[in-house]
């Protein structure tokens, strides 16, 4: 499978959000990555339901919604209603992860789990066969534009090996500090989906940057 590119809308120009969405629609990007932060689980507040609903009305590609919030179970149905196709929750935020994953799937969405940089990949060993996606955070969550954590490569290799051994078929997504310099190494390590924020939206030519990331 060719790797997928998911521009992170958190890095977009919110004063021109519709044109930013259309840029992604018309680019070689595969998904929209939408970070929802509550200011509690992570030290930042991003955007919520009304903004995602507005994005969904314009977006023509998969909405990959990443919940960096406590108690995500309360909002599963709401995110389905505003158009989420993939819903990712944090391992560190879920007391009953198995139940949460199945609740997401019962709503007809694909289910993902994100791991903070300090969380080892083997914590998911008992649930991997239920997952559609595992998101490895390659920066500490909460803010865009952070430096990539080098240990991420080792975690990707570990997770790919576990996937092969368990006959699972989840996608491995990398979120944080992804750019045209490290994308090739990430893909070679086993990444399937690259989330790119500042490296796309702060570049001189975002469409061209997406094309470069897609064709590495």
What residues are annotated to the active site?
35, 175
Closest-CA residue to 194 (of 216, 213, 170): 213
Long-range contacts of 24-27 (CB under 8 A, 24+ apart): 24/59, 24/61, 24/210, 25/58, 25/59, 25/60, 25/61, 26/207, 27/206, 27/207, 27/210, 27/211
- Cα separation, 147 vs 177, in Å, equals 6
Instruction: Please report the pLDDT score of residue 1 as a whole number.
Output: 81
- Cα separation, 200 vs 154, in Å, equals 25
Domains and CATH numbers, the chain: 4-214 (3.20.20.70)
Map residue 216 onto helix, strand or coil. Answer: coil
Instruction: Please report the pLDDT score of residue 141 as a whole number.
Output: 80
Give 60's contacts (C-beta < 8 A, 6+ positions apart): 25
Both tokens of 58, joined, read 């314009």
Instruction: Please report the pLDDT score of residue 144 as a whole number.
Output: 64
* pLDDT tens for each residue of 123-152: 999 999 999 999 999 998 876 667 899 999
- For 13-29, b/e burial (b = at least 16 CB within 10 A) is eeeebeebbebbeebeb
Under-50 pLDDT residues of the chain:
none
- Cα separation, 64 vs 86, in Å, equals 5
Instruction: Please report the pLDDT score of residue 57 as a whole number.
Output: 97
Give 146's contacts (C-beta < 8 A, 6+ positions apart): 139, 140, 176, 177
Both tokens of 46, joined, read 């991003």
Q: How far does Cα 166 stand from its chain's mean position? A: 23
Give 174's contacts (C-beta < 8 A, 6+ positions apart): 135, 136, 138, 152, 156, 186, 191, 193, 194, 195
* pLDDT tens for each residue of 93-131: 999 999 999 999 999 999 999 999 999 999 999 999 999
Instruction: Please report the pLDDT score of residue 83 as a whole number.
Output: 97
């Amino acid at each position: 499978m060719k790797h997928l590119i998911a521009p992170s809308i958190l890095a977009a120009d919110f004063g021109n959000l519709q044109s930013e969405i259309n840029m992604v629609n018309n680019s070689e990007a595969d998904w929209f990555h939408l970070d929802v932060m509550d200011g509690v689980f992570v030290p930042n507040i991003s955007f919520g339901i009304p903004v995602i609903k507005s994005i969904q009305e314009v977006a023509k590609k998969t909405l990959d919604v990443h919940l960096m919030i406590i108690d995500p179970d309360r909002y599963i149905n709401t995110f389905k209603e505003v158009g989420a196709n993939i819903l990712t929750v944090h391992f560190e935020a879920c007391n009953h992860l198995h139940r949460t994953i199945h609740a997401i799937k019962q709503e007809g969405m694909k289910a993902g789990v994100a791991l903070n940089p300090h969380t080892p990949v083997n914590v998911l060993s008992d649930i991997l066969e239920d997952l559609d996606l595992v998101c490895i955070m390659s920066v500490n969550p909460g803010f865009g534009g952070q430096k990539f954590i080098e240990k991420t490569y080792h975690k990707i290799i570990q997770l790919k090996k576990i996937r092969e051994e368990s006959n699972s078929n989840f996608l491995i997504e990398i979120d944080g500090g992804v750019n045209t310099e490290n994308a090739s190494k990430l893909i070679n390590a086993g990444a399937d989906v690259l989330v790119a924020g500042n490296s796309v939206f702060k570049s001189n030519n975002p469409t061209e940057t997406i094309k470069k990331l897609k064709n590495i």
